[in-house]
């Protein structure tokens, strides 16, 4: 008798454990943001999406107006110790040096070739403009696409020694997927070069070229040796940063987003424009405060400086995300 009661207890215990495991598994399955720790940041995203997709609710937004915009550098992938596109430009200078022997004695190329980053920095904005003009213009758009694509497929992060396209933020990929599953249109709106991003965003983020907004240069259409081409000119068209972001959004999307995601003061105007429209809105700022798993920087950083956003964001109802506390993991496995 004792034996059989024991058996019954055992069966009940095993059954209870099974039921509990299944509930946990189901909860995980139903969790659209498994890489986010429970907390205000995570629930602010879910509350917003639930509100704007609940038919008949006060905050309901039709799918055609469910526009969400994401910064790229520091928001979807890393930007330290240098913007990826700047590493690309420096690599291109080295690659192109044999065809440009005069660079050995001309700044800023001389410093780039000597690996003297302080020397490069000393050439200032003019030096940077020369590097960008030499490496990003003068070819056709299709040639540049091929160059950018080949580079991104082989380049590796200097400290983490991994391809840049694997150093993307898993929690943000989950937000993108969650929004898409809820009929949002998801755009990148980045200060980075539009043509530097477009060759790989679809493969890496599932975001096609026409949903990528970025800094652009002027181009010219011409028929070269009987072949129509788009030539890349050494003249800026749109600087898609700060007040340039709402301009870029307006130009490319033609509608005010209802949700915007960024990480630096370069995203301030995008979030301001987005969250000041009528109806329910959402703004989020990723705060890089995780020196152990990624990098920690904000008010004093030259790259991805975040100062005004930290002060004004909370007052404006924006969600400030702590990478350290809100993110379970940083990168995809």
* Closer residue to a second copy (CB): 38 or 142: 142
Q: How far is the CB of 218 from a second copy (least distance, A)?
A: 9
The CB-of-62 to a second copy minimum distance in angstroms stands at 11
Which stretches of the chain bind a second copy, using CB under 8 A? 64, 141-142, 185, 187, 194-195, 198, 202, 208-212, 216, 219-223, 227-228, 230, 237, 243-244, 246-247, 250-256, 269, 272-273, 276
Closest by CA to 186, choosing from 165, 164, 205, 171, is: 205
CB of 76 to a second copy, least distance (A): 18
Q: Is the dihedral of CA 299, 304, 308, 312 positive or negative?
A: negative
Q: How far is the CB of 180 from a second copy (least distance, A)?
A: 15
Q: How far is CA 28 from CA 25, 41, 239, in A?
A: 5, 18, 41
Nearer to a second copy, 244 or 313 (CB): 244
Smallest distance from a second copy to CB 33, Å: 26
Nearer to a second copy, 160 or 247 (CB): 247
> Which CB, 171 or 246, lies closer to a second copy?
246
Q: Which is nearer to a second copy, 195 or 289 (by Cβ)?
A: 195
Q: Which is nearer to a second copy, 112 or 284 (CB)?
A: 284
Least distance (Å) between residue 194 CB and a second copy: 7
Pick the closer one to a second copy by CB: 196 or 295.
196
Cα-based distances in Å from 301 to 102, 182, 322, 324: 34, 36, 17, 18
Comparing CB distances to a second copy, the nearer of 94 and 218 is 218
d(CA 257, CA 248): 12
Q: How far is the CB of 207 from a second copy (least distance, A)?
A: 11
Whole-number minimum distance, CB 169 to a second copy, in Å? 24
Q: Report residue 85 CA to chain centroid gap.
A: 13
Query: CA 145, CA 167: separation in Å to the nearest integer?
Result: 21
């Amino acid at each position: 008798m004792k034996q059989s009661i024991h058996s019954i207890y055992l069966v009940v215990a095993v059954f209870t454990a099974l039921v509990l495991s299944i509930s946990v598994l189901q909860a995980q399955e139903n969790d659209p943001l498994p890489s986010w720790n429970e907390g205000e940041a995570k629930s602010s995203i879910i509350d917003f999406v639930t509100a704007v997709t609940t038919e008949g609710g006060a905050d309901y937004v039709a799918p055609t107006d469910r526009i969400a915009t994401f910064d790229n550098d520091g928001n979807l992938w890393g930007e330290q110790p240098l913007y990826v596109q700047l590493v690309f430009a420096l690599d291109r200078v080295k690659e192109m040096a044999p065809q440009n022997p005069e660079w050995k004695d001309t700044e800023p190329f001389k410093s780039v070739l000597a690996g003297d980053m302080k020397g490069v920095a000393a050439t200032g904005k003019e030096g940077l403009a020369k590097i960008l003009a030499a490496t990003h213009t003068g070819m056709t758009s299709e040639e540049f696409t091929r160059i950018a694509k080949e580079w991104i497929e082989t380049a590796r992060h200097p400290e983490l020694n991994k391809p840049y396209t694997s150093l993307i933020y898993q929690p943000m990929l989950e937000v993108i997927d969650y929004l898409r599953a809820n009929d949002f249109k998801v755009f990148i709106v980045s200060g980075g070069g539009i043509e530097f991003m477009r060759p790989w965003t679809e493969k890496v983020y599932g975001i096609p070229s026409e949903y990528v907004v970025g800094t652009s240069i002027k181009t010219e259409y011409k028929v070269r040796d009987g072949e129509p081409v788009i030539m890349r000119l050494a003249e800026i068209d749109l600087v898609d940063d700060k007040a340039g972001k709402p301009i870029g959004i307006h130009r490319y999307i033609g509608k005010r987003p209802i949700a915007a995601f960024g990480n630096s003061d370069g995203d301030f105007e995008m979030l301001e424009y987005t969250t000041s429209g009528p109806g329910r809105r959402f703004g989020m700022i990723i705060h890089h405060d995780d020196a152990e798993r990624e990098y920690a920087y904000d008010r004093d950083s030259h790259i991805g400086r975040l100062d005004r956003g930290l002060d004004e964001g909370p007052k404006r109802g924006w969600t400030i995300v702590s990478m350290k506390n809100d993110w379970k993991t940083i990168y995809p496995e």
